[in-house]
Amino acid sequence: MPLLGARGGGVRGVVQTPNNKFGREVVVMSGVIAGLISRYRALGLKGTPATPGRSRRWTASGYHMLTYGHLIGEVIRRITVSHQSMSDMRVQFGTLQNVFGKPATHGGFTFVPAAVQLDGNGFSIDFDLRDAAGERPPTILARPIEHHYDAAWVRARLPRVFGFTPELSEVEKSLLDVGFVAVAAGSSVGFAFICTDYYGRTGLMFSPDGPDQDTQAKVAAAFWSLLLQAPDDLADFDATVYHPGAGIWMHFGCAHGEPSYRESEDAGG
């Protein structure tokens, strides 16, 4: 199974699987596997000879040689389980292009991080985080919501919840452009949507073709509730987005668990 499409840092890649219904792509931790195999080959199996009254004793390198084999087996097992479960899922109102990270279940839905292309035209951002957080948002989120940079908080939460680092959005004036598939409990049907922002204000985007408004509202409520479960559990990051219309750079970040935002006239400012 050749590994393709590995990203920087070895976070994710693609394994070719002939029976996968999604274009034969299952995303795995290619960097982990490559690292394990490399170290497995590099390590020698050494030990001290057996002597009367003392059995053969393995050194650290021998121990790790054996345990790395178990670790590789566990990674392969997880790939197989993921492939089997994903191959039964049907995505509606969008095209599934890739999956990554780890799924999370909350509020009657399992959310799968994924690269998706929504069906239709004329998209809008709805179900804002500020509305889901209510009049009394968590303390860590109050200032970002008030000053319209709650996208920084969302960007800092996603790695903690879904185990992946979001790529920088290619959409003008936005930090986030992260796809998901929401699968209701007991169902094999998934609904594609995108978590995105406009100038730092975060919401969700569904296809104009569906699902119906009630289902969208349920998905949105469960998704935001999932992220709001542990609002202070944030991953530090630093990202810069250019705003061509205003000719400014927007600097989003999170340092020591505190989301931040500022603007400058140059990328390094």
Residue 260 included in any domain: no
Shared domain for 227 and 107, answered yes or no, is: yes
* End-to-end Cα separation, the chain, in angstroms: 45
The yes-or-no verdict on residue 36 having pLDDT over 60 is: no
Confidence of residue 246 (pLDDT cuts 50, 70, 90): confident
Give burial (CB, 10 Å; 0-12/13-18/19+) of 134: exposed
Prediction pTM value: 0.70
Supply the range of the domain harboring residue 107.
Answer: 90-231
The yes-or-no verdict on residue 76 having pLDDT over 90 is: no
- At 169-179, the pLDDT tens digits run 988 889 999 99
Listed residue (26, 24, 60, 34) closest to 45, CA to CA? 60
Shared domain for 225 and 101, answered yes or no, is: yes
Shared domain for 26 and 101, answered yes or no, is: no
Residue scoring higher pLDDT (168 or 77):
168
For the segment 143-151, the average pLDDT, to the nearest whole number, is 97
The pLDDT of residue 86: 56
Q: How far is CA 77 from CA 37, 81, 83, 222, 242, in A?
A: 15, 6, 10, 29, 42
The pLDDT of residue 118: 97
Shared domain for 208 and 109, answered yes or no, is: yes
Confidence of residue 2 (pLDDT cuts 50, 70, 90): very low
Shared domain for 39 and 77, answered yes or no, is: yes
Shared domain for 138 and 51, answered yes or no, is: no
Shared domain for 123 and 224, answered yes or no, is: yes
- At 197-215, the pLDDT tens digits run 999 999 999 999 999 999 9
The pLDDT of residue 172: 82
- At 214-237, the pLDDT tens digits run 999 999 999 999 999 999 999 999
For all residues of the chain together, what is the average pLDDT?
A: 77
Q: What angle do CA 6, 173, 12 make, to 5 degrees?
A: 10
Domain final residue pick, 69, 86, 103: 86
Half-sphere exposure of 65 (CA within 13 A, CB side): 12
| CA atoms of 135 and 154, how far apart (whole Å) | 18
The pLDDT of residue 18: 34
Dihedral pair phi/psi, residue 160, rounded to 5°: -70, -35
Q: Are 177 and 171 in contact (CB under 8 A)?
A: yes
Look at the chain and report how many structural domains it folds into.
2
- Percentage of the chain surpassing pLDDT 70? 67
- Percentage of the chain surpassing pLDDT 90? 60
